Amino acid sequence: MPAGTIRAFHLIHDLGPGGAEHVLVDLASVASEAGIDLTVVSMLPTGGLRYPMMLREAGVSVVSLDLRAWWDPRGPRRLRHLVEHDRPDVLHSHLKHADTVAGRVAGRTWIPHVSTLHVIEDQVSGLARAKRDLAARSRMRTTSATVAVSDVIRSWYLDTFPESPERVVVIRNGVPDPGEGSDRDRRAVRQELGIPDDAVVAATIAVMRPGKGHHALLEAARRTEGVVYLVAGDGPLRSSLQDEAAGLPDGRVVFAGFREDVDRILFAADFVVHPSLADALPTALIHAIAASLPVIAFEVGGVPEIVPAGGGILVAPGDSAALAGAVATLAADPDRRVWMGKQGRERYDEEFTAIRWARRLRSLYEAITP
């Protein structure tokens, strides 16, 4: 295809809060610079949601198929009508529900189809396993390429399904550069959240659902004094986690709720703790290293692909005592935090800038587009 803008439709199940969903918001910030004319298509309605507003503010068109559910049988027909009318150069889907719908449409419209794997689904059974396998079969039939966001998810996928290795490429997500937060920014965020200026703050940013390790985080909080745990996010476990944290000293854990201003929250932190028990490529850690913050995390999934040697402390999954020990170590050593933060920032500049990520997607689109 000659040089120029590539029109890409990105299909996702919905645009409610979530990691894969926010990836599209990050992409929107640099798509035009990378030569991608981005349209985001949500399978479910978008009314009242923040992400569609953010996408439109970035100059991206947002369309909804207005389905009742992810598996609404009207999905393929509505998507086909849309792509036949607008004729994008590429149809790019995210998560298994969208993969299945996009696969049915791509096969009938001859539009190149790309799918991104965001999640390692190795602990599923019953109906969930059947849906996972259905989406995989669809991908293998219809995609021109499947994008794995990390080496570990690519390896899992190829070990699980009979896909050709050359059709699965690793393109790691990136995030926009947050810039440098000033002391004034740091004080303002802390004041807003009721955190003392002189406190050592460990930030965690994650959806509050099973598998994200918040119980291990609170256990670590019980074991460490002199550290404020700033917990940002929302989800089905929020109420029970707040109840659990009520037994800790006042001010030990601060719940900030769901936040869009992740970079601003990180201005208030001294380091980031990520206790997730499984993660293909946690965007929260990419934000952390972009902000020059050291990372403490369980050594799972794609975490080691983000955190460089010397850029953080990785401990055995589920070991809350080791997590607490790492927190205590960094809390007591500000010079080490600065040095680790610099190592992380170098890793961000080398691999995880948003424009580098978008240009890699653009190169993939060029390779599969006639």
Residue 259 lies in a domain: yes
**Mean pLDDT in residue range 338-349:** 97
Domain region containing 345:
183-351
**Mean pLDDT in residue range 172-185:** 92
Q: Give residue-wise pLDDT tens across range 313-323.
A: 999 999 999 99
Q: What is the pLDDT of residue 180?
A: 86
19 pLDDT more than 90:
no
Centroid of chain to Cα 150: 12
Q: Give residue-wise pLDDT tens across range 242-262.
A: 999 999 999 999 999 988 888
Residue 101 lies in a domain: yes
**Mean pLDDT in residue range 148-172:** 98
Q: Give residue-wise pLDDT tens across range 221-235.
A: 999 999 999 999 999
3 pLDDT more than 70:
no
Do residues 225 and 103 share a domain?
Answer: no
Question: What percentage of residues in the chain have a pLDDT greater than 70?
Answer: 99
Tell me the three-class secondary structure of the chain, residue by residue.
CCCCCEEEEEEECCCCCCHHHHHHHHHHCCCCCCCEEEEEEECCCCCCCHHHHHHHHCCCEEEECCCCCCCCCCHHHHHHHHHHHHCCCEEEEECHHHHHHHHHHHHHHCCCEEEEECCCCCCCCHHHHHHHHHHHHHHHHHCCEEEECCHHHHHHHHHHCCCCHHHEEECCCCECCCCCCCHHHHHHHHHHHCCCCCCEEEEEECCCCCCCCHHHHHHHHHHCCCEEEEEECCCCCHHHHHHHHCCCCCCCEEEEECCCCHHHHHHCCCEEEECCCCCCCCHHHHHHHHCCCCEEEECCCCHHHHCCCCCEEEECCCCHHHHHHHHHHHHCCHHHHHHHHHHHHHHHHHHHEHHHHHHHHHHHHHHHCC
Q: What is the pLDDT of residue 261?
A: 87
Do residues 190 and 106 share a domain?
Answer: no
- The mean pLDDT value of the chain amounts to 95
Do residues 163 and 214 share a domain?
Answer: no
Q: pTM of whole model > 0.85? A: yes
Structure tokens at 134: 């259905």
Q: What is the pLDDT of residue 182?
A: 86
Q: Is residue 2 very low, low, confident or very high in pLDDT (cuts 50, 70, 90)?
A: very low
Do residues 191 and 246 share a domain?
Answer: yes
Is 205 within 8 Å of 233 (Cβ atoms)?
A: yes
- Report the number of distinct structural domains present in the chain: 2
Q: Give the Cα separation of 24 and 26 in Å (integer).
A: 5
343 pLDDT more than 90:
yes
Do residues 297 and 357 share a domain?
Answer: no
Do residues 70 and 82 share a domain?
Answer: yes
Do residues 59 and 192 share a domain?
Answer: no
Q: Give residue-wise pLDDT tens across range 83-106.
A: 999 999 999 999 999 999 999 999
**Mean pLDDT in residue range 28-38:** 97
189 pLDDT more than 60:
yes
Do residues 221 and 336 share a domain?
Answer: yes
Q: What is the pLDDT of residue 259?
A: 87
Q: Give residue-wise pLDDT tens across range 212-222.
A: 999 999 999 99
CATH number at residue 87: 3.40.50.2000
Do residues 46 and 88 share a domain?
Answer: yes
Do residues 158 and 209 share a domain?
Answer: no
Q: Give residue-wise pLDDT tens across range 286-313.
A: 999 999 999 999 999 999 999 999 999 9
Q: What is the pLDDT of residue 1?
A: 38
Do residues 93 and 222 share a domain?
Answer: no
Residue 1 lies in a domain: no
Do residues 360 and 330 share a domain?
Answer: no
